[in-house]
Amino acid sequence: MNAEVYVAGVGIISAIGNNTAENLAALASEHAGMNEITYLDTFYRNKLPVAEVKLNNENLATLSGLSNNISRTALLSTIAAQEAINDAGIENFSSLRTGFISANSVGGMDKSENFFADFLADNKKGKLRNVINHECGSVTEITADKLGIKNYVSTISTACSSSANAIFFAARMIKHNMLDVVVAGGVDALTKFTLNGFNTLMILDQQYCKPFDENRKGLNLGEGAGYVVLVSERVAHSLKKEMYCRLSGYANANDAYHQTASSPDGTGSFLAMQNALKKSGLQPNDIDYINLHGTGTQNNDIAEGTAIARLFEGKYPKMSSTKSFTGHTLGACGGIEAAFSVLSIKHGIIYPNLRLQTPMKELPFVPEIKFLQNQKVNNVLSNSFGFGGNCSSLIFSKQ
């Protein structure tokens, strides 16, 4: 159980790029991914900004090698997971015990919601092929089958903390010597279901979101997928390339305050961060960068900020919410932001928190607003918190 787990590869598709290199370039040039709604067929076109992946389903199908009839969620997942595997460059991949542990919040809902319109009019109508992959697990299997991963396949759904949980569940399976290599992370495509759901909560900013700003008005929904390839020590040593970093700490706690709202003092966030630090054997002042959950809602940012103020009292690491670039990608955000965290260590870079003009008056720190290079980044904390009080934190460390 004390074995180390290494990150050997990353793969990302989001509103700021279709692969890791494009994402990094957008982060460096401070180029956000929000826009008018282009691909989702919804009443809210031209009314609410979102952060869509800038490809239609036909393009995504081509990139993924899948049919364009398949849920956009599965297309996004396959593209990013395949990139992560290619990046890891594990030559004897098929002879190892491999796993795919993915997360998403609404599965193939993008197809189900279209099916439902026909079905409601007449329950003998609606193409079944549009609802056959409704389940969260079905989406995972489409990707696992495409990647040829078979030894272990599973899906986690804990709302917006889903993919952080997938990543550390995967790491534990490696530590228990059940698997050698796991592609872990998450995905969500933008759907009418989630867009309308968040809209009923009146937490969607009608402008581009401003995480950790005093005048923040809510979040922008995004979509995408992010995966890391986790490998055992043995596999890490057999690879010819240098590992990105280790997954050194992780924890999961529940806020147990309200189904959707965070507690004012961020109890769940505090416990997740504190326990992740404990697991990694690090002290708060060892952390060089925090990739914030930072959705841009009043409630999240004050709860998360309060918890950070308490845990890091006096000495605050650099921090930022990259949701100011990608929007809130729900089941994918823990995966995308884990990949960003890993890249921060590898390249010694800190991402800016865009559009932050007026720092929150309650907080004793201000997130980073400029892209920084040549930084010492040894340990990164990545936060992902969700509905149902599910809070998870991951810590990545340079070897």
Residues classed as catalytic? 160, 293, 328
Q: Are 71 and 189 in contact (CB under 8 A)?
A: yes
Backbone angles phi, psi at 262, to 5 degrees: -85, 150
Q: Select the residue interacting with another protein from 14, 64, 82, 154 (CB under 8 A).
A: 154
d(Cα 273, Cα 98) in Å, to the nearest integer? Answer: 29
Q: Which of 160, 174, 295 is nearest to 236 (CA)?
A: 174
Q: Select the residue interacting with another protein from 131, 230, 243, 345 (CB under 8 A).
A: 131
d(Cα 175, Cα 172) in Å, to the nearest integer? Answer: 5
Three-state DSSP class for residue 204: strand
Give me the residues paired with residue 226 across strands: 12, 186
Q: Which helix (H) or strand (E) covers residue 58, if one does?
A: helix 57-64
Kindly write out the interface string for residues 21-60 of this chain, putting x where it contacts another protein by CB under 8 A and - elsewhere. ---------------------xxx----------------
b/e per residue, 108-118, with b = 16+ CB within 10 A? bbbbbbbbbee
Nearer to another protein, 158 or 344 (CB): 158
73 binds another protein (CB under 8 A): no
Task: Tell whether the torsion through CA atoms of 33, 296, 315 and 361 is positive or negative.
Answer: positive
CB of 328 to another protein, least distance (A): 14
CB of 270 to another protein, least distance (A): 10
d(Cα 321, Cα 333) in Å, to the nearest integer? Answer: 11
300 binds another protein (CB under 8 A): no
Nearer to another protein, 259 or 357 (CB): 259
Q: Select the residue interacting with another protein from 93, 152, 365, 371 (CB under 8 A).
A: 152
CB of 310 to another protein, least distance (A): 15
Instruction: Provide the 10 A C-beta neighbour count for residue 10.
Output: 28
Q: Select the residue interacting with another protein from 12, 136, 336, 381 (CB under 8 A).
A: 136
Q: Select the residue interacting with another protein from 386, 393, 394, 397 (CB under 8 A).
A: 386
Nearer to another protein, 46 or 128 (CB): 128
112 binds another protein (CB under 8 A): yes
Q: Select the residue interacting with another protein from 78, 82, 158, 353 (CB under 8 A).
A: 158
Rg (CA), the chain: 19
Q: Are 387 and 194 in contact (CB under 8 A)?
A: no
Chain residues binding another protein by CB under 8 A are 1, 42-44, 105, 107, 112-113, 116-117, 119-120, 123-124, 128, 131-132, 135-138, 140-141, 144-145, 150-159, 165, 169, 172-173, 176, 192-193, 196-197, 199-202, 252-261, 267-268, 271, 386-390
